[in-house]
Chains A and B, each alone.
Chain A
Amino acid sequence: MTDQQLAGKIAVVTGGGRGIGRSIALYLAGAGADIALCSRTSNEIDAVAAEIRALGRRALALPVDVADWAQVESFARAVTDEFDHIDILVNNAGGGFEVGPVAVSDPAGWRKTVEINLFGTYHMIRAFLDDIARGGKIINITSGMGLEARPGNSSYNAAKAGAHMLTQCLALEIWDRGIDVNDIIPGLVATTNVDWASDRSSVESVLAEFEGKQPPFAPSERVKHPDELGDLVLWVASMPEGGPTGQSFSLARRPF
């Protein structure tokens, strides 16, 4: 692998303004890809776009709510107007918006969790599928929580389980187009999703918060830096055509 193994490639990263998505966008750009980014708010993706341009790559950043089909469709049009086609689609936008037992859950929060994690992934795939070139990659950021139930997280569990299955369904449908579809399971990462309460905590502050403390979920887990995900996604995105498809690549440290 050279440092520019993605030279000439175009990648779309959802939820690319911070955390895992930002690291993925910067790693792919660092390997030579031009990047289209979206998130619900502009300020963070604009900053990441500036970092990508500083690497000498092209960047397009647009505010998009991935749960909104019309917004996703117009995003896809804007991206293909700018770049013609795409090679890599990373469905990273996600989050948990309803934490607590089903019995007392807020149906609106429960639905929103499924809409962003599952429908958001489906919408992006549906909108971009015609424009993904042969040899392309679709990479869905799912979760260990899509494979194992945990108390008080049913909406996130169910949404990520759906995204995991969507990965497998899509792999079966598009192998003959030479497009490989795989999951990434991050395990615990220092993002605002690990620390549900403190919105917009910095990576360093979350890492510091868990330093020397028993991590959530399992004592064997480790709270990782988002760049470790950037590195894994780059590896999966750089696989030759005919590489794995319908598989899951995980940085977790607990068996599922």
Chain B
Amino acid sequence: MSELSGQVALVTGGGRGIGRSIAIAFARAGADLAVCSRTQSELDEVAEKVQAEGANCLTGIVDVTDRAAVERFRDDLIQRYERVDILVNNAGGGLERGVVAESDPDRWRRTVEVNLFGTYLFSRALLEHIPDGGKIINVSSGMGLKAANQSSAYNVAKAGVHMFTECLANELWPRGIDVNNLIPGPVATSTFNRDAPGQRTPTEEIITKFADEPPPQFPKFERVKHPDEVGELALYMATRPRGGPTGQTFSLARRPL
């Protein structure tokens, strides 16, 4: 299968979890990749997998909230590939878990910065380098559509991402660039598992842990998915023909949102 051959894709937060699965799915479909995250060892592992599919892989250490770092990675990418056809804003996470009344304002702000501002910064930096027919896929969340308990920073940040997608779709359709949200639903990642910083519970272990029932913040009919299922959906979205859906949301959730 080489539906993406000749295309260049950038995946933020591509070192592990959902971003890693998306990068590998795209490479398997023939795309060349640019992948950034904050952990070099994880990027090296993904680059090896991508290259094993016969694709090129540019990696970079980037904090998506750092404008200078985002622009530096953009410059490297343009120097290497000249353009980017598919931008996947996947980097995100929840850093402040708790009620607003007891929340840490720095972690609350940081959550919004990573999820929302990071998505904006990458879109802003790359927009002029995305050709006609390009795609932007923003990994949002069911939590951007429905409030949960003790997750206000993540809820608010993802709600912002959801709306940003719609705003950008309205701005970019004349250029033939389609912009859509991807809602993964619960996926076995370290973010979902609320791993401590630096801790990396293996995917299979998380899936086994929640095989019978998802954690209490989700209804029992949700299913904790493998990140590769999200890679498949992202590939479907990335391979829509020009003039396909834009400003829409593609979801693997199992609860109405």
Known: A176-B221, A220-B169, A244-B253. 8 other contacts (CB 8 A): A172-B221, A172-B255, A180-B254, A248-B251, A249-B250, A254-B170, A254-B247, A255-B170
CB within 8 Å for A172 and B246 given contacts A220-B170, A255-B166, A255-B170: no
- Find residues 233-249 in chain B having any chain A CB closer than 8 Å to their own CB: 236, 243-249
Asked if B256 and A171 make an inter-chain contact with CB atoms under 8 angstroms apart, the answer reads yes
Q: Bits for B23-54, please: 1 = Cβ < 8 Å to A, else 0.
A: 00000000000000000000000000000000
CB within 8 Å for A253 and B256 given contacts A175-B221, A235-B236: no
Closest-CB distance, B67 to chain A (whole angstroms):
27
Asked if A252 and B221 make an inter-chain contact with CB atoms under 8 angstroms apart, the answer reads no
Query: Per a CB cutoff under 8 Å, which of B248, B250, B254 touches A246?
Result: B254
Closest-CB distance, A36 to chain B (whole angstroms):
27
CB within 8 Å for A244 and B251 given contacts A172-B221, A220-B170, A220-B173: yes
B207 at the interface (CB under 8 A from A): no
A247 at the interface (CB under 8 A from B): yes
Contacts of A248 in B (CB 8 A): 249, 251
Could you give 18 example pairs across A and B, Cβ below 8 Å? Answer: A171-B256, A175-B221, A175-B254, A176-B221, A220-B246, A220-B247, A242-B223, A244-B253, A246-B256, A247-B183, A247-B251, A247-B256, A248-B249, A250-B249, A252-B247, A252-B248, A254-B170, A256-B247
Asked if A244 and B245 make an inter-chain contact with CB atoms under 8 angstroms apart, the answer reads no
Contacts of B251 in A (CB 8 A): 244, 247-248
Majority secondary structure of chain A interface residues (helix, strand, loop or mixed): loop
Number of A interface residues at 8 Å Cβ cutoff, please give it: 28
B185 at the interface (CB under 8 A from A): yes
B257 at the interface (CB under 8 A from A): yes
Asked if A168 and B247 make an inter-chain contact with CB atoms under 8 angstroms apart, the answer reads no
Q: Bits for B158-176, please: 1 = Cβ < 8 Å to A, else 0.
A: 0000000110011001100
B252 at the interface (CB under 8 A from A): yes
A187 at the interface (CB under 8 A from B): yes
A123 at the interface (CB under 8 A from B): no
CA distance A175 to B246 in the complex (A): 29
CB within 8 Å for A253 and B247 given contacts A176-B221, A244-B185: yes
CA distance A219 to B251 in the complex (A): 26
Number of B interface residues at 8 Å Cβ cutoff, please give it: 27
Query: Per a CB cutoff under 8 Å, which of A171, A175, A219, A250 touches B245?
Result: A250
Closest-CB distance, A51 to chain B (whole angstroms):
24
CA distance A167 to B255 in the complex (A): 11
CA distance A243 to B185 in the complex (A): 10
Asked if B173 and A246 make an inter-chain contact with CB atoms under 8 angstroms apart, the answer reads no
Query: Per a CB cutoff under 8 Å, which of A176, A222, A247, A252 touches B253?
Result: A247
A251 at the interface (CB under 8 A from B): yes
- Find residues 90-134 in chain B having any chain A CB closer than 8 Å to their own CB: none
- Find residues 168-185 in chain A having any chain B CB closer than 8 Å to their own CB: 168, 171-172, 175-176, 180, 185
Contacts of A242 in B (CB 8 A): 223, 254
A157 at the interface (CB under 8 A from B): no
Contacts of A256 in B (CB 8 A): 247
A245 at the interface (CB under 8 A from B): yes
Contacts of A235 in B (CB 8 A): 236
Query: Per a CB cutoff under 8 Å, which of B173, B250, B253, B256 touches A172?
Result: B256
Closest-CB distance, B226 to chain A (whole angstroms):
11
Nearest 10 pairs of A and B residues by beta carbon: A255-B166, A168-B256, A255-B247, A246-B256, A220-B173, A175-B221, A250-B248, A247-B251, A245-B254, A253-B246
Asked if A251 and B252 make an inter-chain contact with CB atoms under 8 angstroms apart, the answer reads no
Closest-CB distance, A245 to chain B (whole angstroms):
5
- Find residues 183-213 in chain B having any chain A CB closer than 8 Å to their own CB: 183, 185
CB within 8 Å for A246 and B247 given contacts A220-B173, A253-B173: no
Contacts of A168 in B (CB 8 A): 256
CA distance A219 to B178 in the complex (A): 14
Contacts of B250 in A (CB 8 A): 249
Asked if A246 and B255 make an inter-chain contact with CB atoms under 8 angstroms apart, the answer reads yes
Asked if B245 and A222 make an inter-chain contact with CB atoms under 8 angstroms apart, the answer reads no
Asked if B245 and A252 make an inter-chain contact with CB atoms under 8 angstroms apart, the answer reads yes
Contacts of B165 in A (CB 8 A): 255
- Closest A residue by C-beta to B172: A220
- Closest A residue by C-beta to B181: A255
Contacts of A246 in B (CB 8 A): 253-257
- Find residues 126-183 in chain A having any chain B CB closer than 8 Å to their own CB: 167-168, 171-172, 175-176, 180
